[in-house]
Amino acid sequence: MAENLFDEDEKLEKGSEEVRKDFKGLLGSVRKFLSDLLEIRSNTDPVATKDSIIADIPFKGHTSWILISSIFIASVGLNANSTAVVIGAMLISPLMGPILGMGMSLAINDIDTLRRSVKNFVVMVVLSVVTAFLFFYFFPLRDESSELLARTKPDIRDVLIAFFGGLALVIARAKKGTIASVIFGVAIATALMPPLCTVGFGLAIGKPLYAAGAMYLFTINTIFIGLATFLVIKYLRFPMVRYANSRRRRFIARIASVVGLAVMIPAGFTFYQVFQESLFKKQAQVFLAETIELYEFTKNGRYVDNLTEVNFDDGENPYIEVVCMGNEEIPENIINSWRAKKNSFSRLAEANFRVLQGGKDDSEEKFTYVSELYEAKKAELLTKDERIRVLEEELANLSSAASQQIPFQEISAEARINHENLAELGFSYKIKTDFNKLDTVPVFEVKWKQGVSSGQLEKDQKKLADWLKLRLQNDKLQVKRVAD
């Protein structure tokens, strides 16, 4: 009996040992599979890769004309809002060479290559911006197309595209037998050329904010492509450049380290800022979806979602601004409840919440007029800032008119008592413009009794006009006499 139990225990122990061996074998197989799948060092040619990157750094002769041509093509494509033409310009652009050169030189401690890369990179950027500026300055058609405006404000996706695009590019360049399709794809994805064209466009039309936003996007692309190059070259263990003088070698190594750190710090800060803005906007969209987008107007009102503005402003003065049109005013207690809900979101608590609405005027005609004005000018107002500006002007006019609503029944009764020669009194609003702004003017139409002398009529009409302006506190008010 005891022998049988001992045999069974021995069998169980042998079975457990076999399971452990099988499991270790499985882990080893998975590890080997992943190693074969992801390992890139064995198929890398450091010497050929370094030579090919250095060969793309110089900027003169043919490369200069290729860059100028690609800038013109990209500018025309952006101006015509043609994505296909912009892609063509990105494919022939030589901007990527000096950026890879900067990343590689920092990684291998090659100060001479770094100096050449920086010099050629600066020349390329200046030439690109000047070429784009001249094109947009002298070209008669300078519409703010969506392709242009898309390059004026980067977000977290642009950072990720630049970084992973740089990774793909330098890995493709390091492989024995370069993958050309990858290089072309990265040139399209990272889009270095369109932001520089947009910088020239912003300067040409006198809008430095466009230029600053586009240059910020270009800087993000450049920094993160260079950072990706630096990390991959370090991972692949490219041989460091050695100097005969050990003191010079240590000095160069320190300079390269400082420059590399100086590049990585703003890259990290940029990523953090853009990431924070992305989280802010995400919470803002959830907040809007749970508040104003669910609000049901009972009368003639509507929420204009495409005019909603969510502005992070680097966290200094963030705000959320929504626009409502119509003759229905959202109750203040509802807006206050929305503000309270906004404060429940961690990233929206400090943001200002504003509701622009035209509900303080109960004139359906005015609402229709503002709606038609907006629709008529929508094609011209391509930016949210311009849309908000025009809409604010119109809403201000409507609010001003609403605050001066005429109590016509009271006015007519008082006028009849004060002016015995008054036969009829009419009232209407007149909309007029000097082609700079619109204005709404209240107009009273007066009919006097027959048989009254002209001198007395002029005196009575002046007295009535002065009284109405004082009574209604409106100096723009007009009184017109209606002939019999």
pLDDT at 345 over 80: yes
The residues near 341 (Cβ < 8 Å, ≥ 6 apart) are 287, 290, 291
With cut-offs at 50, 70 and 90, classify the pLDDT of residue 22. Answer: low
The residues pairing with 440 across neighbouring beta strands, listed in sequence order, are 431
**In the prediction, which pLDDT does 191 show?**
63
Degrees (nearest 5) of the Cα angle 124, 127, 128? 80
**In the prediction, which pLDDT does 17 show?**
67
What is the residue extent of each domain of the chain? 1-36, 46-273, 291-403, 408-481
- 470 CB-side CA count, 13 A: 7
Per residue in 72-112, pLDDT (tens digit) is 888 888 777 777 777 777 777 777 888 888 888 888 878 78
Residue of higher predicted confidence among 176 and 224: 224
pLDDT at 403 over 60: no
Dihedrals phi, psi of 11, to nearest 5 degrees: -65, -40
**400: which 2 tokens?**
């001003």
With cut-offs at 50, 70 and 90, classify the pLDDT of residue 361. Answer: very low
Q: Percent of the chain beyond pLDDT 90?
A: 1
Per residue in 293-312, pLDDT (tens digit) is 888 887 777 887 777 888 88
What span, in angstroms and rounded, lies between the C-alpha atoms of 426 and 402?
A: 19
Pairing of strands 438-448, 478-481: parallel
Q: Which CATH number fits domain 408-481: 3.40.50, 3.30.70, 3.30.750, 3.40.1350?
A: 3.30.70
Q: Which residues of 400-412 are buried (b: 16+ CB within 10 A; e: fewer)?
A: ebbeeebeeeebb
**In the prediction, which pLDDT does 481 show?**
85
The residues pairing with 311 across neighbouring beta strands, listed in sequence order, are 319
Q: What is the mean pLDDT of residues 428-440?
A: 77
Identity (one letter) of the amino acid at 56? D
pLDDT at 389 over 50: yes
**286: which 2 tokens?**
């959830």
Residue of higher predicted confidence among 38 and 188: 38
pLDDT at 45 over 70: yes
Residues 186 and 54: beta-carbon distance below 8 Å: no
Per residue in 164-220, pLDDT (tens digit) is 877 887 887 777 765 544 555 555 555 677 788 888 888 888 888 888 888 887 887
With cut-offs at 50, 70 and 90, classify the pLDDT of residue 362. Answer: very low
The residues near 162 (Cβ < 8 Å, ≥ 6 apart) are 190, 220, 221, 222, 223, 224, 225, 228
Per residue in 347-357, pLDDT (tens digit) is 888 888 888 87
**In the prediction, which pLDDT does 186 show?**
55
Residues 164 and 226: beta-carbon distance below 8 Å: no
Residues 339 and 303: beta-carbon distance below 8 Å: no
Q: Which residues of 186-221 are buried (b: 16+ CB within 10 A; e: fewer)?
A: bbebbbbbbbbbbbbbbbbeeeeebbebbbbbbbbb
What span, in angstroms and rounded, lies between the C-alpha atoms of 483 and 422?
A: 13
Question: Mean pLDDT across the chain, nearest whole number?
Answer: 76
